[in-house]
């Protein structure tokens, strides 16, 4: 567990992902794969975490930043007329995937704390004529969404970046309608990380240090009033998604005198389904 001030963590994560949104850094927030070009990297990561080529072809190219640790929209299965909320919507990839499924009578909201991500997603939506989407800037611990107005919630490898995850789950329960569902891809731990990793800001932004122990994560989810948890996918984060860890984390491991084995097997990428009771 990190000893850093939570707002210091938030500021670092916001800065890191702001640079990804503007192209100052590649989309290696949660791990990279080998690629010769940025476009190949982004598409390669997205395929590697579960998106189909047809899905990638159906969204604005600028929405795919090569981020995430799963592909939750397929399991969420948005329906016509529903209101869907994407937590940490980034460039808008999952928002744009859900938009045709909810149709003109539905609505998809994306919330992200990074101004550069919001600007990028809004520009893509306007350019490509998505009339049923909206992007709002805000923190996941205090969602700019009214109570009980959302049918379905999704998120792709973002909750682990938030220091107060219990607050996120309480907000999800608040905005979901009774009987509403969520399908989330996120990172959890099956064992504690070495202190040098757990306290490192780059490891937070890389979706490693901010991950909670699995039991604590789902206890917080249950305490918020969300239940019927079903694990849909559970894979090792280091040996599958993060084929090439962000350089800062590779360097951190080297400075700590440990190899990938220090985190391999401990860091798990999950996709799960849960529900707010009716």
How would you write 138-195 as a 3-class SS string?
CCHHHCCCCCCCEEEEEEECCHHHCCCHHHHHHHHHHHEEEEEEEEEEEEEECCCCCH
Q: Vertex 84, ends 222 and 275: CA angle to 5°?
A: 25
66, 157 contact by CB (below 8 A) = no
Q: What is the pTM of this model?
A: 0.90
* 195 closest CA partner among 19, 17, 3, 61: 3
pLDDT of residue 83: 98
Neighbouring residues of 7: CB distance < 8 A, sequence distance ≥ 6: none
pLDDT of residue 77: 97
What are residue 121's phi and psi, to 5 degrees?
A: -65, -45
pLDDT of residue 177: 98
Using 70 as the pLDDT threshold, list the residues of the chain that sit under it. Answer: 1-2, 26-45, 47, 241-249, 252
Superfamily the domain 6-275 falls into? Vaccinia Virus protein VP39 (3.40.50.150)
For 53-63, write each residue's pLDDT tens digit. 788 888 888 99
> How many CA atoms lie less than 13 Å away from 194 in the CB half-sphere?
16
pLDDT of residue 37: 39
- Tell the residue number behind the tokens 């007329």, with chain if given: 81
H or E stretch covering 110: strand 107-112
Question: Domain ranges in the chain?
Answer: 6-275
Residue 274: CB atoms within 10 Å: 23
3-state class (DSSP) for residue 197 = helix
- Rounded to an integer, what distance in angstroms lies between the CA atom of residue 185 and that of residue 128? 26
């Amino acid at each position: 567990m990190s000893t850093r001030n939570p707002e210091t963590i938030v500021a670092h994560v916001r800065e890191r992902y702001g640079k990804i949104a503007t192209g100052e850094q590649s989309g290696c927030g949660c791990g990279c794969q080998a690629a010769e070009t940025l476009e190949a990297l982004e598409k390669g990561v997205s395929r590697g975490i579960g998106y189909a080529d047809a899905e990638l072809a159906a969204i604005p190219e600028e929405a795919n930043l090569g981020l995430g640790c799963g592909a939750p929209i397929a399991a969420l299965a948005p329906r016509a007329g529903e209101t869907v909320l994407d937590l940490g919507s980034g460039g808008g990839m999952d928002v744009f995937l859900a938009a045709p499924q909810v149709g003109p009578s539905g609505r998809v909201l994306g919330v992200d704390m990074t101004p550069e991500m919001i600007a990028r997603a809004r520009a893509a939506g306007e350019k490509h004529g998505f009339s049923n989407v909206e992007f709002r800037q805000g923190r996941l611990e205090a969602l700019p969404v009214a109570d009980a107005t959302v049918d379905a919630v999704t998120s792709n490898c973002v909750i682990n970046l938030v220091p107060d995850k219990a607050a996120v789950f309480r907000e999800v329960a608040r905005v979901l309608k009774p009987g509403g569902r969520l399908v989330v891809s996120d990172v959890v731990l099956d064992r504690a990380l070495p202190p040098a990793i757990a306290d490192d800001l780059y490891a937070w932004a890389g979706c490693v240090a901010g991950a909670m122990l699995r039991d604590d994560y789902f206890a917080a989810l249950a305490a918020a009033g969300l239940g019927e948890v079903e694990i849909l996918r559970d894979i090792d984060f280091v040996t599958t998604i993060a084929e090439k860890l962000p350089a800062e984390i590779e360097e951190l491991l080297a400075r700590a005198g440990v190899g990938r084995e220090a985190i391999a097997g401990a860091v798990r990428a999950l996709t799960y389904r849960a529900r707010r009771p009716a």
